[in-house]
Amino acid sequence: MKRLLAGLFACALATLPIASAAAAAPREGVASLQPMDDAEAARMAARVRGEFLHAWTGYRTYAWGHDALLPLSKAPRDWYARSLLMTPVDALDTLLLMGFDDQAKEARELIDTKLSFDADVDVKHFEVVIRLLGGLLSGYQRTGDPRLLALAQDLGNRLLPAFDSPTGLPYVNVNLRSGRASGTDSNPAEAGTLLLEYGTLSRLTGNPVYYAKAKRALVETYRRRSKLGLVGERFDVDTGGWTRTTSHVGARIDSYYEYLWKCWRLFGDRDCLAMWKPSIAAVDRYVLEDVHGALWSGQVDMATGVRTGHEYGALDAFFPGLLAYSGDVQRARRLQDSSFAMWQANGIEPEAYDYAKRDVTAAEYPLRPEIVESTWYLYRLTGDARYRTMGKVLFEDFVRYCRTDAGYAALKDVVAKQQADDMESFVLAETFKYFYLLFAPPATLDLDDVVLNTEAHPLRRIEPR
């Protein structure tokens, strides 16, 4: 926090005549920043592109053909007994967006020739949908490569048994070869963050089954909301009963809200809009709160609305972007200022932060994209070039603390800045993509043309057949 306050005062003093400086209130958040001009933005876009290439090259050199790179040990890591090419599939559309055509071609050839879903492995349904199904569909829409669509359809078919529960809520895992589904301890994010991908698969193949199953899971989640309109954090897939009733917008719930809004945007599905409206009203009323003069989002009980916690964190930081995207720019700006203050407190954001006590409560940073995502939405939707300057602060810190010889490393502890041997595929799918989009010319991605899934894969609108 000290660093933030010192920075804010320095900046305010630099731009005010001495006589009025003493009387002026310190400006905070985005108001403390100067707008970035287009020439500086172009330099930043080139820098982000260069750093992305550094991370991609690390994967290419030390982990080619595997799911992910271990950036400290310079070795590969696979999620299961067999690689599912998580990083190449997740990174493909970022390579294309940034104009790395040779690398994209090489990644596509690897996927086309080596990726097979005929594997006796129990995979996490949600993760495979957002990263692999989303990545394949977006890659197909960008390249027209029919093999990517064929892989997406094969994967979709193998995953469908996940929905065969008594409630229609999906099981957590599914075996890609046998279709055996397992895992009943699930949550709104895992059940409700499927329709953009399955729905796009239906639109592209003409087979409505994918849309129907994923939509039912979203509706079944919504149906279980409390009288106040809030959802909890965990439920049992077989019974549909809540097993944890804490409500918030962070881990295990976050992208459920994201997809209510985005499925309306992508498919024009009025049911999604009808579910979004009371849901966001309940979040505004019960979950968001003013503390120390700033807007934050914490925890309440879904049934009573009684406040149970004041924790915000790296995952919650997607919410300002969603607020802005859905039209509530005022609240979006205030919450983004809070995300930025949380980041500035240690020069990198922690996984969880108690905003009432101003204390880090979970110190790791797995290179998450959400704060960058929100910075980009706010810039794109308001045109306020100070958000580009905010993004530059984030990027410089990100490079300073997380860059390694071979790529980018997560942090075990944002206070001690101790690195961890982990570079998730979402770093290449999302974190670098949002940084790049923030500084690149807006025409790089037309928000009227696409909706980004929760893993930042841009999906194009397609009319139903």
Rounded least distance, CB 251 to ligand DMJ, Å:
8
Per CB under 6 A, the segment of 305-313, 338-346, 362-370, 412-420 that binds ligand DMJ is 362-370
CA-to-CA distance for 462 and 465, rounded, in angstroms?
9
Q: How far is the CB of 44 from ligand DMJ (least distance, A)?
A: 22
User: Among residues 368 and 386, whose Cβ is nearest to ligand DMJ?
Assistant: 368
Q: Is 127 a catalytic residue?
A: yes
Q: Cβ 207 to ligand DMJ, closest distance in Å?
A: 26
- Shortest distance, CB of residue 248 to ligand DMJ, whole angstroms? 14
Q: Output the smallest distance, CB 430 to ligand DMJ, in A.
A: 6
Residue nearest ligand DMJ, Cβ-based: 454
- Select which of 370, 422, 424, 430 is catalytic: 370
Half-sphere exposure of 402 (CA within 13 A, CB side): 33
Q: Which of 254, 349, 424, 430 is catalytic?
A: 254
Nearest Cα neighbor of 262 from 96, 128, 386, 373 is 373
Exactly one of 77, 368, 386, 433 binds ligand DMJ (CB under 6 A); that residue is 368
Give whichever of 30 and 253 is closer to ligand DMJ, judged by the CB atom: 253
51 is catalytic: no
Based on CB atoms, which residue is closest to ligand DMJ, 151 or 189?
A: 189
Q: Return the DSSP state at 76.
A: E
Residue with Cβ nearer ligand DMJ (337 or 349): 349
- Which one from 28, 233, 351, 430 is the annotated catalytic residue? 351
**H or E segment at 376?**
helix 370-382
Smallest distance, ligand DMJ to C-beta of residue 424, A: 7
**Burial class (CB within 10 angstroms; exposed 0-12, middle 13-18, buried 19+) of 123:** buried
Quick one: tokens of 170? 């999906």
**Per CB under 6 A, which of residues 269..308 are in contact with ligand DMJ?**
none
Of the two residues 4 and 191, which places its CB atom closer to ligand DMJ in the complex?
191
Euclidean distance between CA atoms 402 and 367, whole angstroms: 8
CB 8 within 8 A of CB 32: yes
| Single residue of 255, 297, 299, 389 touching ligand DMJ by CB under 6 A | 255
Q: Which of 71, 250, 298, 369 binds ligand DMJ (CB under 6 A)?
A: 369
Catalytic residue status for 40:
no
- Does 134 sit near ligand DMJ (CB under 6 A)? no
**Residue closest to 394 by CA, chosen among 452, 439, 424:** 439
We find the least distance from the C-beta atom of residue 98 to ligand DMJ, in angstroms, to be 19
User: Binders of ligand DMJ among 114-133, rule CB under 6 A?
Assistant: 130
Residue pair 298/259 in contact by the 8 Å Cβ criterion = no
* Separation between Cα atoms, residue 53 and residue 170, nearest integer Å: 37
Smallest separation (angstroms) from ligand DMJ to the CB of 133 = 13
Q: Segment near ligand DMJ (CB under 6 A), from 147-155, 178-186, 350-358, 367-375?
A: 367-375
Question: Got the DSSP string for 87-122?
Answer: HHHHHHHHHHHTT-HHHHHHHHHHHHHH-------E
CB 179, CB 173: distance < 8 Å: no
Cα 236 to Cα 187: distance, rounded to the nearest angstrom? 8
Q: What one-letter code names the amino acid at 24?
A: A
Cβ 433 vs Cβ 49: under 8 Å: no
Going residue by residue from 418 to 457, which x/- string records binding to ligand DMJ, judged by CB under 6 A? Answer: --------x---x-----------------------xx--
Distant-in-sequence, close-in-space partners of 387: CB < 8 Å, separation ≥ 6: 30, 336, 375, 376, 378, 379, 438
The nearer residue to ligand DMJ, 193 or 245, going by C-beta atoms, is 193
Longest dimension (CA), the chain: 75
Cβ at position 317, least distance to ligand DMJ in Å: 9
DSSP character string of 264-303: HHHH--HHHHHHHHHHHHHIIIIIEEEETTEEEE-EEETT
Stretch that binds ligand DMJ, among 142-150, 276-284, 350-358, 364-372 (CB under 6 A): 364-372
Q: Compare residues 235 and 318 and give the one whose CB is closer to ligand DMJ.
A: 318
Residue 442 makes CB contacts below 8 A (sequence gap 6+) with 380
How far is the C-alpha of 352 from the C-alpha of 301, rounded, in Å? 19
Compute the distance between CA of residue 231 and CA of residue 226 in angstroms, rounded to an integer: 6
Q: Is 118 a catalytic residue?
A: no
Please, which residue, 67 or 430, has the CB nearer to ligand DMJ?
A: 430
Would you say 163 or 365 has its CB closer to ligand DMJ?
Answer: 365
Binding site for ligand DMJ (CB under 6 A): 130, 255, 368-370, 426, 430, 454-455
- Residues identified as active-site: 127, 254, 351, 370
